[in-house]
A = this chain, B = another copy of it.
Amino acid sequence: MAYSETIKVKLKSQDFHDITGYVENIVRKSEIDDGICNIFAIGATGAMLINENEPMLLEDFRKTLEKISSSKELYQHVENAHSHIRSMLIGNSQSIPVKEGKLMLGTWQNIMVVNFDTRNREREVIVTVVGD
C-alpha cells in the first residue's frame, strides 16, 4: 500500500516550520500499520530536518550554517548560492519508520521544513507512506 498527501507552508528566509502534527495525521489517514514514511521538500533551496524544535538551538544551528556557507561570501552562482549549499548539506528528504500506525519519533524529534532561500517562499512538502 502507498498513500500520500502534500502540505504547503509559507516560510520567511532561514525559517524552520514544525510539521510533525500534520505528518502524524497523514500517517493516521493512510491506515498503514507498518512501513516507512518519507517526507520530501520540493525545491533546491529547501530542506527537511528532524530535531528538537527549540528556538535557541535553531538559532545556534543558523549560526553554524552561516560559518560553513556564509551569506556574505562571494559565490559564482549569484544571489543565493549559500541557500543551495545549505540545502545540499541538510538534504531534502527524511524517512521515518511507522509501527502499529504510529510515527516512531523520539521525544525531542520534530519534523521541520526549512526555507534557506533569500526570500519568503511557500514550501511544498510531499508525505508518502508505504507498507502494510
Which residues does A use to contact B, with CB under 8 Å?
A: 1-4, 34-36, 38, 40, 42-44, 49-52, 54, 56-57, 59-61, 64, 67-69, 75-77, 81, 84-85, 87-99, 104-106, 108-109, 124, 126, 128, 130-132
22 contacts between A and B (CB under 8 A): A1-B132, A2-B34, A4-B34, A4-B99, A38-B97, A42-B104, A43-B108, A44-B50, A44-B108, A50-B92, A50-B93, A57-B76, A57-B81, A60-B75, A60-B76, A60-B77, A88-B90, A89-B90, A92-B94, A93-B94, A130-B130, A130-B131
A67 to B70, CA, bound (A): 12
At the interface, is chain A mostly helix, strand, loop or mixed? mixed
Minimum CB–CB distance from A91 to chain B (whole Å) comes to: 7
A92 x B64 contact (CB < 8 A): no
- Write the nearest CB–CB distance from A36 to chain B, whole angstroms: 5
Which among B49, B61, B109 is the interface contact of A42 at CB below 8 angstroms?
B109
Given A38-B97, A76-B57, do A88 and B51 touch, yes or no (CB 8 Å)?
yes
Count chain B CB atoms within 10 A of each CB in A43, A44, A105, A106 and give the residue with the most: A44
- The answer to whether A57 touches B38 (Cβ under 8 A) is no
| Chain B positions within 8 Å of A126 at CB level | 97, 99, 104
